[in-house]
Amino acid sequence: MTQSNSVEQLSSGKNQLAKHAIHVHKFGGSSLATTQCIERVVDIIRQNCQLNDLVVVSANGNTTDDLFTVYNLAIEKSDGLLLAIETLEKSQSALIGELLNPSSAARLIDVLAEDIRQLTAWLTEQPSQYHADMLAFGELWSARLLSAVLSEKVCPSYAIDARDFLVINNDKDCAVDNQQSSQKFQQNLQKGKLAVITGYITKNAQGETCTLGRNGSDYSATIIASLSGALNVTLWTDVDGIYSADPRIVPLARKLHRLPNGVAKELGRLGNPVLHAKTLQPLTNHSTHLHVASSFDPEISGTEIGKFGQIAKQELSVTSLNDLLLVKSTSLAGSFGEQASNEFSAICSDIQQGFIVIHQAQQKLVSQWLASHDTQVSFTPVSIIAIVGHSVVNQGNIQARFKRALKHTHVLHVVNSLSEHSIIAVLQQSCTGELLNNIHYDMTKDARHIGVVVSGLGNIGQRFLALLPAQLNRISVLENVHLVGLVTSKKALLNTDGIDVNQAMSLYERDAKPCDNTLLMSWLTNHPYDELIVVDITPSEHFSDLYNEFFKEGIHVIGANKWAASASTHRYNELVLTAAENKSVWLGSTTVGAGLPINFAINDLLKSGDKITEISGIFSGTLSWLFETYDGSVPFSTLLLNALSQGITEPDPREDLSGRDVQRKLLILARMAGFELSLDDIECENLVPESLQALSTTEFLAKSADLDNYFAEQLAVASAKQACIRYIAKFVVNEKGQLSAKVYLAALAKNDPFASLTPGDNIFLIKSHWYQDNPLIIRGPGAGRDVTAGGLHADLVTICQQLAGKKHQVKIKGLN
Ligand SMILES: NC(=O)C1=CN([C@@H]2O[C@H](COP(=O)(O)OP(=O)(O)OC[C@H]3O[C@@H](n4cnc5c(N)ncnc54)[C@H](O)[C@@H]3O)[C@@H](O)[C@H]2O)C=CC1
Ligand SMILES: N[C@@H](CC=O)C(=O)O
């Protein structure tokens, strides 16, 4: 890509996220560690940024640690100092040389050499005076390098040293001086160029360099978001989101796709390795959403932190902290305890019982603070394990479950946090990985959230929705199933916070927006649920073309739509394979026989080693109803319109009369029975006269009386032979294993088993090695709103049962 193209692309907003006003992207050290990592970051910026976005960077890889090392060598006056500085310079020069063209590289290497001279002077003269200044080089080099690479490869870019605008009060826990900072920030911005800003470093009111502590660059990013009014901040890191427990210790931890602000803050406070409470501070009064995403896997949706509805509020996580102290003293009861708790940001406290829990590192400070009250103080080493979730302290069932889960653990105290988003158990012993895994399992084992998107809100779709509220209420495996999307050919209502199932259709009518497949796919691929099921109740081939994309995304499909299951052999095999590879479940029991258990019967025979040799019968509810009812007294076309209004026909009844619908069903059954064939292998007798074949559905229905003579004749010929007319489907495998298949209108003797069915019934006759002479017969209503919607619900329950047993072991690049 040429530079001018890239600039054009970034400025014209053709990239994915260009719709957002300002977006802050922060890249952590691991994301910028090597040439390859930086190239990946450049790609992310190319795909996701626009020119007025802001990029915040940490130092490359371990540069900050290396700077700490050279500092310590300087303090120790070690002989190894100069060599360590030289190594540091070499690693920076290598990155520069590998990423930039020779002339830009030479320029940057000169600037680096100047910095190294300065660094060496500081470290050899008065290291302790320049501690923060020399640490600042890490972020400075990183910002300079990235902006130079961007300028060369993507768009005009410049580096900003955050010390030129960000002023903090370092006496007050790094609180930002907003007024000064925001004014200076605006002055530092350049139009038409992408800013790359140093994280981690700031200045205080005296103009001295300060650092923001552990994960300080994340804090810088949210401060910069607050100064710039950005709507989104993405923390690009080496993990792909925030999990319900530390995934390095708990392999079954679930990714939390959406975290309410308060819960995220509590998680940060209680030891989440990705989030830090300070990071969220600048966003407290803003509607800015924070995302955590992996720069190693940018396509995977990470975790979003912001304001959400009920579904996101149900998520629970488990976190733990070791190396803590339980500080007990009578003087910690009452308001003094409260003061102490605030002063030391205690992990938890109980001012009735007179204790606070603090980090071990705080012991000296706390002792000094308490010394003024010369009461007895005890310090006991403790750990905590906490359950964190929106307003958990107000949920008696969660309290009770947590206490039950801890029943074999020696617990000193159980404390509700002031935020109400955590219940904290204080333990005398360290919190082990085993305990964390056990508690996590007990608290989250049935916390899988399943989103359901219903596509097709016609005859069957509406009945499916009408049955949904009662199903969700009475079937326990559907407990965490949420209706999140309603889609038709024109519009869609998609809501990650869920759609009220009791008002689904009216909400759709009121709120649905125009939507095409691209928009739909982008929403579906970024869904925040553990599992997503698309229920396809459309008659559309176009919609069935999306199945492969669904499967690639791990989305499950329940189809009443027959197109995909009866697609060409190549396409069908591809779908089956993609679904299997991505562990997507694809069910379509209503595609044949509506709710009848024909698929179960065939599967059971095959599973138990039987071989099917013939399947025949009447597979069309429409044609069954028509031919069972038609006796010549009422014109055939009148009956056809009647069947259409009962909801048993296809949306276009010519799909039934042409035999195509039956042909598809026969193909689906043959595939189910283990045979490889395509529609063309099935001979099909079309009952629609040529003159009616090319019309629109409306025109066809208006001219349906043109069918009457043909069917009257067929009936008369059959009646003359004491026979009746029925539309039959049949495939037979001969002794050589050759298969023949056809769907056709037949004149049957009136005592034929296919001749006298209840109108609308299907009949399936199966011959196999075990059912040779006396075939297996399944018979019952094979079409209609209730049985089909019921069959779709049965598929929904089956999928949810299968998913309940599915265990996701976390796979994170860089971790396992
Ligand atoms: N009627 C029955 O007894 C049975 C029907 N089925 C199947 O159920 C499906 C639905 O049938 P009906 O409800 O009668 O159809 P319908 O015509 O009443 O409703 C179809 C719905 O699908 C939507 N749709 C069409 N194309 C779409 C697209 N590309 N994207 C999104 N939505 C789209 C339409 O907007 C409409 O809401 C068909 O595939 C049919 O074969 C399956 C078993 C039995
Ligand atoms: N039109 C179909 C409906 C179900 O697939 C039928 O009549 O069987």
List pLDDT tens digits, range 599-615: 999 999 999 999 999 99
Please compute the mean of the pLDDT values over residues 766-785 and round it to a whole number.
94
Give the tens place of pLDDT for each residue, 328-364. 998 888 888 899 999 899 999 999 999 999 999 999 9
Give the tens place of pLDDT for each residue, 560-577. 999 999 999 999 999 999
Is the Cβ atom of 790 under 6 angstroms away from ligand 1?
no
Q: What CATH number does residue 513 fall under? A: 3.40.50.720
Residues 11 and 87 occupy one common structural domain: yes
Residues 346 and 365 occupy one common structural domain: yes
Q: How far does residue 572's CA lie from ligand 1's centre (Å)? A: 20
Does residue 715 have a pLDDT over 70?
A: yes
Average of per-residue pLDDT values in the chain: 91
- Residue 260 placed within a domain: no
Please compute the mean of the pLDDT values over residues 274-293 and round it to a whole number.
82
- Residue 636 placed within a domain: yes
Is the Cβ atom of 492 under 6 angstroms away from ligand 1?
no
Give residue 15's pLDDT: 42
Q: How confident is the model at residue 285 (pLDDT cuts 50, 70, 90)?
A: low
* Ligand 2 pocket, Cβ-based, cut-off 6 angstroms: 594, 620-622, 648-650, 656, 661, 782-783
Q: What CATH number does residue 410 fall under? A: 3.30.2130.10
Residues 100 and 49 occupy one common structural domain: yes
Q: Range of 709's domain?
A: 598-782
Atom of ligand 1 nearest to the CA of 460: 13
Is the Cβ atom of 656 under 6 angstroms away from ligand 1?
no
Q: Under the phi-then-psi rule, with left for phi > 0, alpha for psi from -120 to 50, and beta for the rest, what region is 810?
A: beta
Q: How far apart are CA 287 and CA 560, in angstroms?
A: 41
Q: Which of 460, 599, 645, 648 to mutate to test the pocket of ligand 1 (most atoms within 8 A of CB)?
A: 460
Choose, from 665, 730, 742, 767, the residue flagged as catalytic: 665
Domain boundary among 238, 258, 290: 238
Tokens 């039950």 belong to residue: 404
Give residue 714's pLDDT: 96
Q: How far does residue 623's CA lie from ligand 2's centre (Å)? A: 8
Its sign, for the CA torsion 140, 142, 143, 147, is positive
DSSP state, residue 311 = H
Contact, 350 vs 415, CB < 8 A?
A: yes
Q: Which of 649, 662, 727 to mutate to test the pocket of ligand 2 (most atoms within 8 A of CB)?
A: 649
Contact, 568 vs 545, CB < 8 A?
A: no
- Residue 132 placed within a domain: yes
Atom of ligand 2 nearest to the CA of 562: 5
Give residue 807's pLDDT: 63
Percent of the residues in the chain that have a pLDDT greater than 90, as a whole number: 76
Q: How confident is the model at residue 13 (pLDDT cuts 50, 70, 90)?
A: very low
Give residue 354's pLDDT: 92
Instruction: Please report which ligand is nearest the Cα atom of 658.
Output: 2
Q: How far does residue 304's CA lie from ligand 2's centre (Å)? A: 44
Residues 631 and 578 occupy one common structural domain: no
Domain boundary among 408, 424, 444: 444
Pick the closest to residue 92 from 55, 27, 146, 51 (CA basis).
146
- How many domains does the chain fold into? 4
Residues 621 and 535 occupy one common structural domain: no
Give the tens place of pLDDT for each residue, 626-668. 999 999 999 999 999 999 999 999 999 999 999 999 999 999 9
Give residue 6's pLDDT: 37
Q: How confident is the model at residue 288 (pLDDT cuts 50, 70, 90)?
A: confident
Element (H, E) at 723: strand 723-733
Does residue 248 have a pLDDT over 50?
A: yes
Tokens 């069947």 belong to residue: 643
pTM of the model: 0.76
Give residue 175's pLDDT: 83
Mean pLDDT lowest among 370-374, 456-460, 743-747, 798-802:
370-374
Does residue 239 have a pLDDT over 90?
A: no
Instruction: Please report which ligand is nearest the Cα atom of 463.
Output: 1
Q: Which of 620, 626, 646, 758 to mutate to test the pocket of ligand 2 (most atoms within 8 A of CB)?
A: 620
Is the Cβ atom of 488 under 6 angstroms away from ligand 1?
yes
Residues 54 and 198 occupy one common structural domain: yes
Q: How far does residue 645's CA lie from ligand 1's centre (Å)? A: 14
Residues 771 and 734 occupy one common structural domain: yes
- Residue 306 placed within a domain: no
Q: How far apart are CA 282 and CA 263, in angstroms?
A: 16
What's the residue count for the chain? Answer: 816
Instruction: Please report which ligand is nearest the Cα atom of 512.
Output: 1
Residues 456 and 434 occupy one common structural domain: no
Q: How confident is the model at residue 164 (pLDDT cuts 50, 70, 90)?
A: very high
Q: How far does residue 598's CA lie from ligand 2's centre (Å)? A: 15
Highest mean pLDDT: which of 120-129, 237-246, 501-510, 522-531? Answer: 501-510
Pick the closest to residue 51 from 172, 163, 156, 178 (CA basis).
156
Domain boundary among 444, 469, 499: 444
| C-alpha distance from residue 688 to each of 305, 471, 647, 699, 706 (Å) | 58, 40, 20, 14, 10
Residues 384 and 509 occupy one common structural domain: no
Atom of ligand 2 nearest to the CA of 625: 7
Atom of ligand 1 nearest to the CA of 784: 3
Please compute the mean of the pLDDT values over residues 173-184 and round it to a whole number.
86
Q: How far apart are CA 535 and CA 798, in angstroms?
A: 13
Q: How far apart are CA 452 and CA 469, in angstroms?
A: 13
Q: How far does residue 648's CA lie from ligand 2's centre (Å)? A: 6
Q: How far apart are CA 457 and CA 464, in angstroms?
A: 9
Strand positions, DSSP E, 339-407: 348-350, 355-359, 377-389
Please compute the mean of the pLDDT values over residues 47-70 and round it to a whole number.
94
Is the Cβ atom of 538 under 6 angstroms away from ligand 1?
yes
Give residue 14's pLDDT: 44
Is the Cβ atom of 454 under 6 angstroms away from ligand 1?
no
Give residue 815's pLDDT: 47
Please compute the mean of the pLDDT values over residues 735-739 and round it to a whole number.
89
Q: How far does residue 653's CA lie from ligand 1's centre (Å)? A: 12
**By three-state DSSP, how is residue 784 classified?**
coil
Tokens 């005859």 belong to residue: 459
Q: What CATH number does residue 7 fall under? A: 3.40.1160.10
**Which residues face 761 on adjacent strands?**
781
Q: How confident is the model at residue 237 (pLDDT cuts 50, 70, 90)?
A: confident
Q: How far apart are CA 788 and CA 591, in angstroms?
A: 9
Give the tens place of pLDDT for each residue, 436-494. 999 999 998 877 889 999 999 999 999 999 999 999 999 989 988 999 999 999 999 99
Residues 358 and 418 occupy one common structural domain: yes
Atom of ligand 1 nearest to the CA of 538: 22
Atom of ligand 1 nearest to the CA of 649: 1
Q: Which of 515, 537, 658, 787 to mutate to test the pocket of ligand 1 (most atoms within 8 A of CB)?
A: 537
- Residue 710 placed within a domain: yes
Q: How confident is the model at residue 311 (pLDDT cuts 50, 70, 90)?
A: confident
Tokens standing for 593? 């026989």
Is the Cβ atom of 760 under 6 angstroms away from ligand 1?
no
Burial of 752 (0-12, 13-18, 19+ CB in 10 A): middle
Give residue 677's pLDDT: 94
Q: How far does residue 786's CA lie from ligand 1's centre (Å)? A: 14
Residues 616 and 732 occupy one common structural domain: yes
Q: How far does residue 761's CA lie from ligand 1's centre (Å)? A: 20
- Residue 246 placed within a domain: no
Please compute the mean of the pLDDT values over residues 365-384 and round it to a whole number.
86
Is the Cβ atom of 517 under 6 angstroms away from ligand 1?
no
Q: How confident is the model at residue 814 (pLDDT cuts 50, 70, 90)?
A: very low
* 403 flagged as catalytic: no
Give the tens place of pLDDT for each residue, 19-42. 446 899 999 999 999 999 999 999
Atom of ligand 1 nearest to the CA of 543: 29
Q: How confident is the model at residue 100 (pLDDT cuts 50, 70, 90)?
A: very high
Give residue 809's pLDDT: 55
- Residue 251 placed within a domain: no
Q: How confident is the model at residue 18 (pLDDT cuts 50, 70, 90)?
A: very low
Residues 143 and 11 occupy one common structural domain: yes
- Residue 93 placed within a domain: yes
Give residue 10's pLDDT: 46
Q: How confident is the model at residue 3 (pLDDT cuts 50, 70, 90)?
A: very low
Give residue 808's pLDDT: 60
Give residue 233's pLDDT: 94
Q: How far apart are CA 293 and CA 365, in angstroms?
A: 37
Instruction: Please report which ligand is nearest the Cα atom of 537.
Output: 1
Does residue 108 have a pLDDT over 90?
A: yes
Give residue 17's pLDDT: 35
Q: How far does residue 783's CA lie from ligand 2's centre (Å)? A: 5
